[in-house]
Amino acid sequence: MANRTRHILPQEHGFASIMGHDVAKSYLVQASDTDVLPHALLFHGPGGVGKLSMAYALIKRINCRDNSPADCECNICRKISESKFADVLVIEPRGAAGQITLTGWRPGKDDPDNLQYYRFVETGPLEGSRKVLILRHADRMNVALSNYILKLMEEPPPYLSLILISDKKSDLLPTIRSRCAGVKFGPLPLEDMKKFVESRGLNPDSPDIATAVRLSDGRPGNFGEKVSAAAESDQLDLAAAMLSFRKYGFVSLFRVASDLIDLGDEGGSDAASRFELTLQKLTSWFRDAIMVKLNADAGGGLLAFPALRGQLAEFGDGLPADRLMAAAEAVSGYRPLARRQIDKNYALECLLMEIGRIVRG
């Protein structure tokens, strides 16, 4: 894909650089400027729509000495953009289970990585006016941590703000949801997506970029993954792994499983997020293989991996379309396992065995 550009990281955003979400931005700006911002916020909506970017924009707004103008270069905004600001703590799921646990939140409960989150909560701001605790994938908190966070919300330190971010609001405890001010995010309309693309110096009307916009489903994060500098390399690695499995079958299963799970590294630091992203890429692979097999993309612009047309045709050579469809359904059947406490590598190996049986007929 031509005209690649560097993917902008969430912490680099301010309100001026975020496209769309005008209602959310208006509320957050007004609440922060009039000092009525709730101490606990819940940013909820589909993944990749900009919830984390908005959280960082809000952090800049409430801590920036220059009121966070569009291109602020103050020391605080610069540190936030470089992830060096001492008054921000981002907590994400960890470990094979992909959960956020109570480890590190109480004295004497530190894990081998020496996590001491409680020190962040118990001390006042070091550089800014407020400390901000961000819980990504907050719906993955286990019961023990959920109860701890609930008590923290009920009796928060005066200097602390909490931002919970969730793609699956319904998975949070009702008591957690009731104590947060909800801020809903949705996919961007096509016009806002085009503005987002233009803001990155890309032409939204060029064929490759227009395809990426269409396949991103109104999610800037998804678009960024498709046009980032690493995207082409990842696609080639995906094709190599799948063609190796097609050629060598079960003999290559463990190696292919390892290669595929590595492709999910950009999805996050925990096994569940990496597994989910790997399944997304496998879903796109089989979808494209079916379309190439049926010549459904004769007009162009419909494939998620247009640069892999040759490899997709090679993979589907000699396979009936119904087997490719069955393989795609098998991938979809493994999505619920991402949230379960199982070994994700083993789950992927089981999926490949199932796909192998389908392919061999």
pLDDT tens, residue by residue, 180-227: 999 999 999 988 888 888 887 788 887 777 777 877 788 887 776 666
pLDDT at 342 over 80: no
* Single-letter residue type at 351: L
Please report the pLDDT score of residue 299 as a whole number. Answer: 52
pLDDT at 297 over 80: no
pLDDT at 301 over 70: no
- Give the C-alpha separation, 122 to 104, whole Å: 13
Is 157 within 8 Å of 40 (Cβ atoms)?
A: no
Please report the pLDDT score of residue 133 as a whole number. Answer: 96
Instruction: Extract the tokens encoding 35.
Output: 């000092």
Secondary structure (DSSP) of 116-155: -HHHHHHS--SSSS-EEEEETTGGGB-HHHHHHHHHHHHS
Exposure string of 158-190, with b = 16+ CB inside 10 Å and e = fewer, is ebbbbbbbbbebeebeeebbebbeebebebbee
Q: What is the chain's mean pLDDT, rounded?
A: 85
Please report the pLDDT score of residue 45 as a whole number. Answer: 93
pLDDT tens, residue by residue, 124-156: 999 999 999 999 999 999 999 999 999 999 999
Q: What is the pTM of this model?
A: 0.78
Is 114 buried (19+), middle (13-18) or exposed (0-12) by CB count in 10 A? exposed
Whose CA is closest to 58, among 118, 17, 14, 99? 14
Is 280 within 8 Å of 338 (Cβ atoms)?
A: no
Percent of the chain's residues with pLDDT above 90: 48
Domains contained in the chain, CATH given: 10-184 (3.40.50.300), 230-360 (1.20.272.10)
Please report the pLDDT score of residue 268 as a whole number. Answer: 55
- Give the C-alpha separation, 155 to 112, whole Å: 29
